[in-house]
Structure 1
Amino acid sequence: MPPKRTTTGLSLPEAKGVTYDESEMALFHAKLSYHSTIDERMASKDPNLASICEHQARILERWEALKQRQKELAERGHGLPPAERSQLAQYEWRYKRLEELAKKPAEKKN
């Protein structure tokens, strides 16, 4: 027996031609991570965390701009040049490495 609908008249469109863009999701998660931690990290007054946050912000800005360029080129039927595709992959890697550094406990000075 099919489940009953709780809302009448509302229906979701069928997912036709929906593609999963791993790079787009990585950017989304990076932005989410950045925005959820920026206030706490900047309030800590740790110069290393502040520097990491500044670098992450620049990476996200460039990453987002390159993703936008990729979308614009795709609309025209073109793709990113190989150098820019490589750069796109590097942004994700760089962001993740900085995030690992930010989460790493500070070494205690003796």
Structure 2
Amino acid sequence: MDRHRSCLAPPPFLPAHVIPDCVVKVKPLACVETMGYYTYSDGQKRVYTDCDGVTEQRIYDPREVSYLNVFINGVLQPTCNYLVKKGRLLLCTEDIPAKGVPIILQFVKILK
């Protein structure tokens, strides 16, 4: 009877001499760079700009990055809820986030 061994990566706490022979090291195909923009809702605005960021951050042009995510109060938003342009985030929802709710833009750029 032929048995197949699982070739999953070993847990990081195993010493080197315990790592199974079937573990394959894979070279990554690309590297990524992540950038973020963080602000808090004031309870009134729908448009946020670079100046509204918590620290010196910028809202990247979507054409400069591979993809982006928007989180409001920690919840990933569907693309119909926002519009991002260079230096500007527009919330397209009927409701405005309550005052103090965190708004996070995550930008990911895949580097070759």
Higher relative contact order at CA 8 Å, sep ≥6: structure 1 or structure 2? 2
Larger Rg: 2
TM-score (ref. length: structure 2) = 0.23
TM-score (ref. length: structure 1) = 0.23
Greater strand fraction, Structure 1 or Structure 2: 2
Greater helix fraction, Structure 1 or Structure 2: 1
